[in-house]
Structure 1
Amino acid sequence: MPVQRADARRNYALLLTVAKDAIAEYGPDASLEQMARTAGVGSATLRRHFPSRQALLEAVFRDQVETLCGRARELTAAPDARAALLEWLGALTSAAATIRGLAIALTRERAARDGAAAEEACCSAQLTEAADPLVRRAADAGALTPGVTTDDLLTLVTGIALASEHHPDPAAEAERLLRLTIAGVSPPQR
């Protein structure tokens, strides 16, 4: 891979900073043209670094997704499979509810993946891969209703985040809705 010039690295960093701010304020449909203008570069420069809106969204959310994936890997070794999965779902729900645009980006990725081939490095694919061992362990321990998949849980969390987006306290509302969801995907108490 060729080494990027210093000005290209600066432009990338600047565009990413501007994009994070714009998406936090306006959501994932923030104007790409306005981002380029705010960064003081042309739209071709933005497109060179981020060939699609999805590529830009992935870059904006990369740190958060990597943190969530790392936490899933850490929790895989936890002794209580149910508690580990619930802790991770709580972290994911909180992130999706409070990081503006993340839930919509995940929804779009999932639709692209279901309808056609999505990029390998997409956020939802990374989250699915990281969470699969947690879900398998919880299922093997009898802590999940049979048939519940990682995909199901990610879809539920995304829906919760979208449903609580305009609530005065989105994180608290998302947590409340997650508790209701957990009761629905948990096996009946014996």
Structure 2
Amino acid sequence: MRADARRNHERLVAEARAAFAEHGTEASLEDIARRAGVGIGTLYRHFPSRDALLEALLRERFDTLAAQAREAPATRDALLSWTRTLTESSTAYRGLVTAFLTTLRDESSALYASCKAMNAAASDLLARTQKAGEIRPDLEPSEFLTLTYGIAWADEQVAAPPRRDRLLALLFDGLRPS
């Protein structure tokens, strides 16, 4: 990438991060381009879609979460800790949980591969924790992820102080093996 193109890319990513933090994932792409000091055409040359821009912001986070899941010990506490980190990451920008769930149904999305890899690592951690007898064996990975993303979504919707930790504690109490 040429030096000027690299600078534009970096400014777009920085402004997107700020705009998404302030306005959520539906922040105006035109506003992001304007704040970065480039035209909307330049934004679309670097990021052909909103998903591509989100993927640029989130790929590293997803890769880190996947690596943490792969390296975590097969214990209930490790799974809870990882799940807490996932739910915190999922609410970094308003609307992000919905973007995740939409992405997982669209294989053409720029975010699909990153989300899929992270969810696969989570499923493996769950399976290892179940095999160790730390989590009830009848829980399916898709159910676990639905519950996890549901907690993140609910936490995002409530204007009150975050209830994420309380909801996760209740979930994990229900996941104890009988």
| Residue of structure 2 equivalent to 1:167 | 159
| Residue of structure 2 equivalent to 1:181 | 171
Q: CA deviation at 1:9?
A: 0.7
Q: CA 1:98/1:7 → structure 2, altered by over 3 Å: closer, same or farther?
A: closer
Superposition pairs of residues 17-166 of structure 1, within 5 angstroms: 17-75=14-72, 78=73, 80-113=74-107, 117-119=108-110, 122-165=113-156, 166=158
Which whole-Å CA distance do the structure 2 matches of 1:26 and 1:140 have between them? Answer: 42
Segments of structure 1 that go 5 or more residues without pairing to the other structure are none
Which piece of structure 1 moves more, 157-166 or 140-149?
140-149
Say how many residue pairs are matched.
177
Q: CA deviation at 1:120?
A: 7.2
Q: CA 1:179/1:97 → structure 2, altered by over 3 Å: closer, same or farther?
A: farther
Alignment RMSD (CA, Å): 2.1
Q: CA deviation at 1:98?
A: 4.4
Per-residue displacement from partner, 1:51-74 (whole Å, max 9, x unpaired)?
Answer: 111111111122322222222122
Identity of matched residues, %: 42
| Native 8 Å contact 1:84 1:134 kept in 2 | no
Which piece of structure 1 moves more, 31-40 or 140-149?
140-149
Which whole-Å CA distance do the structure 2 matches of 1:39 and 1:28 have between them? Answer: 17
Segments of structure 2 that go 5 or more residues without pairing to the other structure are none
SS at match of 1:112: coil
